[in-house]
Chain A
Amino acid sequence: MNKRYQVLSFLLIAIFISGSAFSYLRRHRPDDKTKELEALKIIFPEADNFSEKFPSPPHYKAYKRLPGEGEKEFLGAAFLTTDIAPEIRGYAGPIKMMAGLKSNGRIVGITVISHSETPSYVLGLDEFIQKLSTLDISNSFILGKDVDGISRATITSEAITRAVSKSVKTIGTAVFNLPANTDSQPSKHLDILQIFFPLLIFVVAALSILSNKIYLRWISLSLGLFYLGFFKSTMVSIALFANTGLGKIPAFVDNPLWFMLVVLTILGSFVFGMIYCGNICPFASVQEWLFKIANIVTHKSLTFSEENDKKFKSLRFVVLFSVLTASFLAGNAQPAAIEPFLTFFTQKGSTLAWMLLVFILIVSAFHFRFWCKYLCPVGALNGLFSLHSLFKIKLGHDCTGCEICKDVCPTNAITFQSPLKPVIDYPQCVCCLKCLEECPQNSSLQGKK
């Protein structure tokens, strides 16, 4: 293995282990009381006294002192949804909320104490919570009926609704003896399609590599674009890996697609190399289509010299390590939510995020996979995994030094160490198989020996 990649792999492992340990220690330090107290004051701003937390079901009672001596008015009960419904998790882990309930069953307010959802996915969170706060115990809390969810954040909306519904009804019946509406947001059932489709896409992608069929590669790229991109708006992002390191993982039943993508991407990289980046990534597909179309229309493309290309390709490792470190230090994956595909497929993002997306799309039309090659942190991560892949493209057997493979490689991953010795930079190889297709000799994909 190239020494440079050895150092980068070591750095990645060091950041991941120390970041995870730091995050674990931070999660388990006893500072949550302060945040709970702050949340209590937000829910019941007029209260001047709160009880200790009552057990079964866990809740606080809020009081307001009255002018008479020792007299106090009971304002309502406040409770953490994670205390009452700990099994309900959002897209990237638990969503800790404090809610308040009056003795007549009306919700006083709800405030989110902490969550790990990707910010660009939940921009409408405050508005959604505001709408939920207008409901009471007689409501069924069904999305689409009592309240509209956050668009393109179904899992988060459902998790919040179910957690609030269960908590409100539990507290309402146990503390205030109120009758609760028995209808509720149906519990999640395992969505088999979320297991089947990613598996199908990875199988097609693997077949395209094993059989060296370029049309299969386009099928897997198109499936990735339409299913993962347009239909599910769920891609492998670096925020997903940062959340994994932070221990913020959704429940399997809520989000099997999340698990399938993480497991298949890592496993796929160790078996076939950059299989996700090369044959599945929806944003890569968008960039490749743009490049193809622009090439047909304008016949123009922009390229770096070999020297600069090699130099700038290291940038994506800088991006990877920076956002992972920032996420671990911040204690959540928000700093890692930088990829333009989040904005593209969710249609949500800040002004800067939209600017970056438009910019990347324009440049990608004139340079093959501009984002993937120079800036994508997921590509950098998969690249490091792919160094150890089981199957690798092997060039050079009976090499005549024609350098066709080098010329056709769209990511400039092939260099010649000597006239007859082509070398593949595997973390740059997107398994497009053009080198194998064009090689006049018997170059092939081979298993590790």
Chain B
Amino acid sequence: MNKSDKPLTVFLTLACLLLAGIVAENIRTAYLAQNPGVVIDVSQVKATLNKAGVKWQEAKYWKKL
């Protein structure tokens, strides 16, 4: 590759990566729009666990998620 091509090649690669990220984000939005049930409402999970007598703990694993 020519030396003068390097900056543009880097820019183009970055633009492609951003574009791929946007496509992935949009596919996720499209999927969630059609399958709203997959969105986890943590407050509902908490309420259900409390109802069942399970003590809710803000475990580090949840924070990771």
Contacts and interface: CB of A to CB of B under 8 A. Distances in A.
Contact of A356 (B8, B22, B30): B22
A399 interface: no
A429 to B, nearest CB: 21
A305 B5 contact: yes
A69 B23 CA distance: 55
* Interface of A (DSSP majority class): helix
A303 B8 contact: yes
Contacts of B31: 330
Contacts of A332: 30, 33-34
Given A322-B23, A356-B19, A360-B15, A308 B34 contact: no
A352 B27 contact: no
A256 interface: no
16 contacts: A302-B4, A302-B8, A303-B4, A303-B8, A315-B16, A330-B27, A334-B29, A336-B26, A337-B26, A338-B26, A350-B22, A352-B25, A356-B22, A359-B11, A360-B15, A374-B12
A43 to B, nearest CB: 14
B14 interface: yes
A383 interface: no
A361 B9 CA distance: 16
A119 B33 CA distance: 10
* Interface of B (DSSP majority class): helix
Contacts of A92: none
Contacts of A315: 12, 16
A350 B25 CA distance: 9
B9 to A, nearest CB: 7
Contacts of A356: 15, 18-19, 22
Given A326-B26, A370-B11, 5 more contacts: A303-B4, A315-B16, A331-B34, A332-B34, A352-B22
A303 B4 CA distance: 7
B27 A326 contact: yes
Interface in B1-57: 1-2, 4-5, 7-9, 11-12, 14-16, 18-19, 21-23, 25-27, 29-31, 33-34, 36-37
A304 B5 CA distance: 5
A338 B15 contact: no
Contact of B18 (A302, A304, A359): A359
Closest 10 CB pairs of A and B: A334-B30, A330-B30, A356-B18, A335-B26, A305-B2, A352-B21, A334-B26, A363-B11, A302-B8, A338-B22
Given A305-B5, A334-B33, A352-B25, A312 B15 contact: no
Nearest to A119: B29
Nearest to B18: A356
Interface in A347-376: 350, 352-353, 355-356, 359-360, 363, 367, 370, 374-375
A38 interface: yes
A104 interface: no
Contacts of B12: 312, 315, 374
A332 B27 CA distance: 10
Nearest to A306: B2
Contacts of B8: 302-304, 363, 367
A370 B10 CA distance: 13
B28 to A, nearest CB: 9
A442 interface: no
A210 B37 CA distance: 56
Nearest to A374: B12
Contacts of B2: 305, 308
A359 B23 contact: no
Contacts of B9: 304, 308
B13 to A, nearest CB: 10
B21 A335 contact: no
A370 B14 CA distance: 13
Contacts of B33: 114, 332, 334
Nearest to B36: A38
A181 B12 CA distance: 57
B15 A363 contact: yes
Contacts of B21: 352
A46 to B, nearest CB: 16
A323 interface: yes
Contacts of B36: 38
A278 B31 CA distance: 35
A305 B4 contact: yes
A129 to B, nearest CB: 13
Contact of A308 (B1, B23, B30, B37): B1
